[in-house]
Amino acid sequence: MIRPGSTIGILGGGQLGRMMAMAAAQLGYRCHIYAPDRESVAAEVSAEFTCAAWTDTAALARFADACDVVTFEFENVPVAPLAEIGAALENKLAPHPRALEIAQDRLREKNFAQEFGGRPAPFCAVDAADGLHAAIERVGAPGILKTCSDGYDGKGQWRIADARDADAIRLPQQQTVYEGLVRFSAEFSVILVRGQDGETRFWDSSENSHEDGILARSSLPASDAIAAQVDEARALASRIAAALGYVGVLTCEFFATEDGPVFNEMAPRVHNSGHWSIEGAATSQFENHIRAICGLPLGSTATTVPALSMTNLIGDDALDAHALLQDEAAHVHLYGKREAREGRKMGHVTWIPLA
C-alpha cells in the first residue's frame, strides 16, 4: 500500500493526467508529471514536473526514482524507453506495459481481443497499395483504412466507399489495417477498475455518440440494445484485464449489433466516456484508478443519479463555457488549455437533472 504523502508519477501531461492528479491530491498524494510538452495542464495542478523527451532515458530514470508508483494517462507512451529503464520502474509501473504494447497497435489489439473470445469488425492487414485492393476484396466495402499506430480521435483514418477510393489514397509509410463497416444500433463503453488483488468493478455503460471521429456525448441510462449486451461485453473486458494482470482503470469500446457486441478498441487508462463518473458515481474513474495503483480498497462504482449526459467542449465550444453555469444542472470542467484549436478537447460539461 502506498502511504499518504507519497509521490505518484504520471506519464503524460494532458487533461486525463490533470484529473488523476486532482483525485490523487484528495487522497493525500503528491503527483509528478513527465511529459515532452512544456505546456502541460496536468503539471499545473501537480507538485513536480519533468519536461523531457520520451527517448531521454536518463530523465525517465530520474523521474521513476523520484516516484513511489508510476502510471500513464494515454496509450501512446513509447514502450521501448520504459523497457530500457526497467530497473528504475521495477514493481512501480501500473498498469503493466504489456497493455500499452497491445493498445498501440490496432492489428495486435484485434488479434488479442479475438484470442479471448472478442468479435472485432472484419479486418485485414494492409502493407502496400496492392494489399489495400486485396483487403477490400476480402473484407468488402464500405470500410475504413486505419494506421495501426498513433491514431486517435479520428486521426490516421480514411473512409472507403468502394474499391475505386483505394486509388486516391496515398498510403502512409507504416502498417495499416482495413476494417469493414459495422451496422450497429449504438456505441458504448465498458469501463472497469481492477485492484492489485484482482477485484474487478464496473461502472454503468454509457451510450456514446461521435462526431468526426471524436466522442461528442455520453449518456445514461443507455438504450435497451446496450443493456442487453453489457454482460457479454463486460465478460470480455474482464478476461482481457485478467490476462494482462491489469491494475487500474481499463476501457473497452463496443458496437451494439444484431449479433451481439462487436469489439472496437481498448484504452488502458481512464476514458473520456467515463468523465460523468465525477459527479454521477459514488467513486469516479479517476479516484478509483489512484486507489487501484496505490493498493487501496476500491470504491463503489454505483451510479448515484437516475439520468445524466456528458458533452465534450471542443475547440471554440469552450470559449463561452461559463455561460453554461446559468443552468443549475450543469457541471463544467475546463482543462486550462490556452489555445482553442479545431478538434481539440478543451473541457466537458455533465448535466445532471435536479430532483
264 is in an annotated binding site: yes
Q: 74: which DSSP letter?
A: S
The C-alpha atoms of residue 252 and residue 267 are separated, in whole angstroms, by 6
Helices 106-115 and 230-244, packing angle to 10 deg: 110
What pLDDT does residue 112 have?
97
Q: What is the CATH topology of the domain spanning 7-93?
A: Rossmann fold (3.40.50)
Strands (E), 315-355: 330-334, 345-351
Mapped onto helix, strand or coil, the DSSP state of residue 264 is strand
Q: How far apart are alpha carbons 139 and 129 in whole angstroms?
A: 16
3 state DSSP class of 322: helix
pTM: 0.94
What is the structure's pLDDT at 299?
98
Question: Annotation-wise, does 152 bind a ligand?
Answer: yes
Cα separation, 29 vs 71, in Å, equals 14
Mean pLDDT, 10 residues at a time, over the chain (355 residues)? Answer: 97 98 98 97 98 97 98 94 93 95 94 96 83 87 86 72 78 84 96 98 98 94 98 98 98 97 97 98 98 98 98 95 97 96 96 91
Residue 342 counted as an annotated binding residue: no
Pairing of strands 30-35, 69-72: unpaired
210 marked as part of a ligand binding site: yes
Query: Is 34 annotated for ligand binding?
Result: no
Is 26 a known ligand-binding residue? no
Query: Is 155 marked as a binding-site residue?
Result: yes
Domains in the chain: boundaries: 7-93, 122-180, 186-351
* pLDDT value, residue 279: 98
SS3 for 218-258 is EEECCCHHHHCCHHHHHHHHHHHHHHHCCCEEEEEEEEEEC
* Omega before residue 142 within 30° of 0, cis: yes
Is 265 annotated as a binding-site member? yes
92 known ligand binder: no
Report the pLDDT value the prediction gives residue 212, as an integer from 0 to 100: 87
User: Buried b vs exposed e over 124-156: b needs ≥16 C-beta within 10 Å?
Assistant: bebeeeebbebbbeebebebbbbbbbebebeeb
- Does 181 appear as a known binding residue? yes
Helix H or strand E encompassing 82? helix 79-84
Grid cell locating 319: 470559449
**Max alpha carbon distance in the chain (Å)?**
60
Residue-by-residue DSSP string for 108-167: HHHHHHHHTT--BPPEEEE-SHHHHHHHHHHH-SSEEEEESSS--TTTTEEEESSGGGGG
The angle, 0 to 180 degrees and rounded to 10, between the axes of the packed helices 15-26 and 285-293 is: 70
C-alpha cell at 215: 466522442
Query: Is 5 within any annotated ligand binding site?
Result: no
**CA 204/CA 147 separation, integer angstroms:** 31
**Is position 180 annotated in a ligand binding site?**
yes
- Cell numbers of 182, please? 459495422
Instruction: Tell me which CATH code domain 122-180 carries.
Output: 3.30.1490.20
| 154 known ligand binder | yes
- At 59, which helix (H) or strand (E)? helix 57-65
Query: Quick one: CATH architecture of 186-351?
Result: 2-Layer Sandwich (3.30)
Residue 134: its pLDDT value, please?
87
Cell 460539461 belongs to residue: 349
